[in-house]
Chains A and B, each alone.
Chain A
Amino acid sequence: MLVRGVAFPHHALQERTKFKTGNAVSESENIVVETAEKIFTDLADAQEINRDKKGEWKAPLWQALTEAGLPLSWVAEEYGGSGASLAEGFGVLGAAGRHAIAVPLAETMLAGWLLAQAKISSPESEMTVAPASPKDRLTLNADGTISGRARGVPFAKAAKHIAVLASGANGVSIALVDAKSVRIEPGLTLANDNSDTVIFDKVSPSVTKPASKGFDQTALMLMGGVIRSLQIAGALESMLDISVRYSNERVAFEKKISKFQAVQHNLARLAGESAAALAAATSAADTLANAKSFNDDAVFLEAVAAKIRCSEAAEKGGGIAHQVHGAIGFTIEHILHRYSLRALSWRDDFGSESYWAVELGKRVAARGADELWPLVASR
C-alpha cells in the first residue's frame, strides 16, 4: 500500500507492531486515532457534507482513508492490511462516531477482521459484512455455494466485496463474495445511509475457508455490536458538544438559554447519557481487545451491555440534544440530524438492544440469582 498525501499512518502502523507493550501502545494509538481525526476534520466536515447535495465529499474521504491504511486496520500486513491492533482500530471507530462518518469504514474494518479469522486476504475496496443481524442465517451448501437472505446489511450497495459468515455441514465458514454476484434490494436507514437486503442465491464465493475454532455468528455479532456502540458513544459526545455550544449562543427571554436551569439540567442529563455510553463502549472495546475467546460470559456481558446501554443513550441523549436545539435542530440544514439519526440507526445493526436484552436475561437466569453478582463483579 502506498502512502500518499495527508496521512502517513501506514508506515507508522508498521512501526507500531514492533511495540506491543507499555506506553508505546497508547502513544501509537494516539497516532492512529489522530490521523483518522485529521482526515475526518479535513474531509468530513459535517457542515460541508450537509451542504453537498451530490455526495461529492465521499470519494476524496474514502481515498484518504484508504491511503492511510485505515479501512484494513485490522488486517495483518501479510493479508493486505496495515496490521493495527484492535485497540487502535476501536479508537478510530470512536472518532468515526464523533464525526458521524457515513462511508463504509466501520463495515470494511469489520469485514477485513472477519476474513482474517479464516486467514483470507482482504481486497483493497469498500466491503461490508453479512449477515448483519443475529436473526439471519446464511447457508454454505454442499457444492460450496452460499444461500440465504441477509437484511439490514449496511452499505451493501456501495460495497465491492462482502465478507460472509455461513454455516454448513462442517460448521462455520467465512467467505469472500464479489458484490456483483449477489442480488441487492436497496434500503435506507433513518439517516439515509444504505442498509440493504442481500440475497444469496447459490452464490459462488471467491474464497471460502473454515472459521477458526470457536468462532461463530455470535462472535461476529458481538464485535459488530461493540463497533456500533463506539460509534453511538462518539456521536453522543458530539451531540453534547454542539448542544452545549448552541445553548451558549442562543438567546431567548433576553439571556443565553444555557443560563436557564431547566436547560442546564437537560444538558447535564445528556452528559450523563454520553458518559454512560462512552464508559460502556470503551470498556467493551477494551474487553474484546484483550479477550482470548468470545465464548465467555464476562465478555458477552461487556459486549451486549454496551449495545443495550448505548442504544438507550442514543434515544434519551439524542432526544435531549434535539430539545435543546428547538426547531432549528429539526431542519435538514442543521447538522444535528447527522449525529442523532445515525445514532438511532446504529441501534438496529448486529442485534438491537431488545434482542440482546432478551439474550442477556436468559443467560443471567440460566446462571441463577446467586451467580449474577459474581458475573457483574468479575472484572
Chain B
Amino acid sequence: MTAALRFDPIRLPEKCQQLRKEVRAFLAEEIAAGTFSPFKVNREDTDVPAFSRKVGERGWIGMTWPKKYGGHERSFLERYVVTEEMRVANAPTRRFFVADRQSGPVLLKYAPEHIKQDILPRICKGELCFAIGMSEPNSGSDLFAAKTRATKTDGGYLVNGTKIWTSSAHIADYMIAIFRTSPPTKENRRHGLTQFLVKMKQPGIQVNPIGQITGQFEFNEVVFTDYFVPDDHVLGEVDGAWKQATSELAYERSGPERFLETYYVLTELVRAVGDKPDTRAAEGIGRLVAQVHTMRRMSVSVAGMLQAGKEPVVEASIVKDIGTVWEQQLPHRVRDLAAFVEEEAGNRETLEKQLSFAIKTAPKLTIQGGTTEVLRGIIARGLGLR
C-alpha cells in the first residue's frame, strides 16, 4: 500500500470521564456565576483573566508537563477532555489556550532551564498569555520567507520588522516568534531563521489592532523597532528553526478545537427543531452528527497515538484539513435546515445570532494555523507525491 493511514480505535479511559464530570461541574458553576454565557458566542470579553486563574487553580493548564515546572504529568487524553469541554461550553480560554497547546511545549523543549523555571509555572497558574509570531506582511503560508531581522549585538539581538495577523498580541505577555538571523543559503532556503522568546509590553514593540469581519479585534500588527532580545531568549538552534517546527505540529493540528469551533450552531439547531423533527430536519441533523462523531473519533485517535509515543503527522494534518472544512460548512448547513424552523421556536433569536456570527467566522477556519492548501501539500508529501 502507498500510505498506510492509521486510526486506532482509541477509547477514553475511565479517569478521563471522571475528569469530564469535574470540568462540566466547574463550567456550570462559572456560567451560573455569570463569568460567561455558553450562548453568547460573539463576545467582546474573550480575555477573562480571573477565569484563566481559576482554570489554573484546578490544574487544567500545562496538564501534561513535568511537575517540577508546575505541570501535572497527566495524559494527553485527559488534556483532550478538558479542551473539548471548554470548547463546547464556549468558555473564554483565549488567555491561556495558546500557551497551553503550543508555547509551553516549545519552551519545555528549547528554553534554558532558568527560563523554564520562571515562565512555565506562571503559565500553569493561568497568569500568562502567549502569542505566536509567524506571519509577516509578505510571508504567510510561506513561513521561510520571513524578513523580520534579529541582528546580533552585545548580549543579545536587535529586532526590526513587522509580524502580522498575530492573535492576542494586544493582551499577550510573551510571544514566540521566528526572526531572520542569517540569509537563506542556496542549498537550503529554510536556513537562517531562529526561534525567540519575546517579552511583550516593552519599549521597541508597538501593537496595532486589526479589525476582523466578525467585528472582533483578535489579531494585530506587531512592529519591532530596535527591540532588544537577550541571548538566553534564543529557543533552540540559531539559524535552525526549520528543524524544530515539524513534530509539534501534530499536537497543534489535531485537537478538538479543529472541528468544534462552530459546533454551537448544531446544538441550537437541535433545540430549535424540537423533539419531533420532520424528515428533512432529521436527515440533516443525522448527517451532521455522523460527521462530528467521525471527526471526534479521528481526533481522539490521533491524541491516543500521540500519547503512545507515535508521530501521526499525516493523520493529524488530515484531521485539520477535513475538520476545518467541516466546521466551515456547518453553519451553512444549519442555516439550510433552520429555514423551516417554526417561528415560535424559543431559541430562534439565539440561533439566528449564532448563525450570523458563525457564518462570518467560517472563512478564517481554513486559514488559521496552516491553510487548507498547505495541509494538503503536507498530506501529498506523506502520500509520496512530492
- A residues with a Cβ closer than 8 A to B are 237, 240-241, 244-245, 247-248, 258-259, 261, 263-265, 267-269, 271-276, 278-280, 282-283, 285-287, 301-302, 304-306, 308-309, 312, 353-354, 356-362, 364-366, 368-370, 372-373, 376-377, 379
Contact = CB atoms under 8 A, between A and B. Distances in A.
B373 interface: yes
Given A268-B380, A312-B287, 19 more contacts: A244-B384, A265-B373, A271-B5, A272-B322, A275-B5, A275-B315, A276-B298, A279-B301, A280-B297, A304-B290, A306-B294, A309-B291, A359-B286, A360-B289, A362-B277, A364-B289, A365-B282, A368-B271, A372-B267
Contact of A361 (B20, B277, B295): B277
Contacts of B267: 369-370, 372-373
What 5 A-B pairs come out closest when comparing CB atoms? Answer: A357-B286, A361-B282, A361-B286, A369-B271, A360-B286
Contacts of B318: 268, 271-272, 275
14 contacts: A244-B2, A259-B385, A268-B383, A274-B5, A282-B8, A285-B9, A306-B294, A308-B286, A309-B291, A360-B285, A361-B284, A361-B285, A362-B277, A377-B296
Given A275-B5, A357-B282, A359-B286, A365 B385 contact: no
Contacts of B380: 264-265, 267-268
Nearest to A257: B385
Nearest to A356: B286
Nearest to B383: A244
- The winner among B2, B84, B286 for most chain A CB atoms within 10 A is B286
A273 B94 CA distance: 32
Contacts of B384: 244, 248
B275 A368 contact: yes
A376 B293 contact: yes
A264 B385 contact: yes
A316 to B, nearest CB: 10
A96 to B, nearest CB: 15
B319 to A, nearest CB: 8
A281 to B, nearest CB: 9
A304 B294 CA distance: 11
- The winner among A237, A264, A268, A305 for most chain B CB atoms within 10 A is A268
A264 B377 contact: yes
A304 B291 CA distance: 11
Contacts of B339: none
Nearest to A233: B7
Contact of B3 (A271, A306, A370): A271
A241 B282 CA distance: 36
Contacts of A357: 282-287, 290
Contacts of A312: 287
A272 B270 CA distance: 27
Nearest to B256: A377
B53 to A, nearest CB: 26
A368 B346 CA distance: 14
A283 B283 contact: no
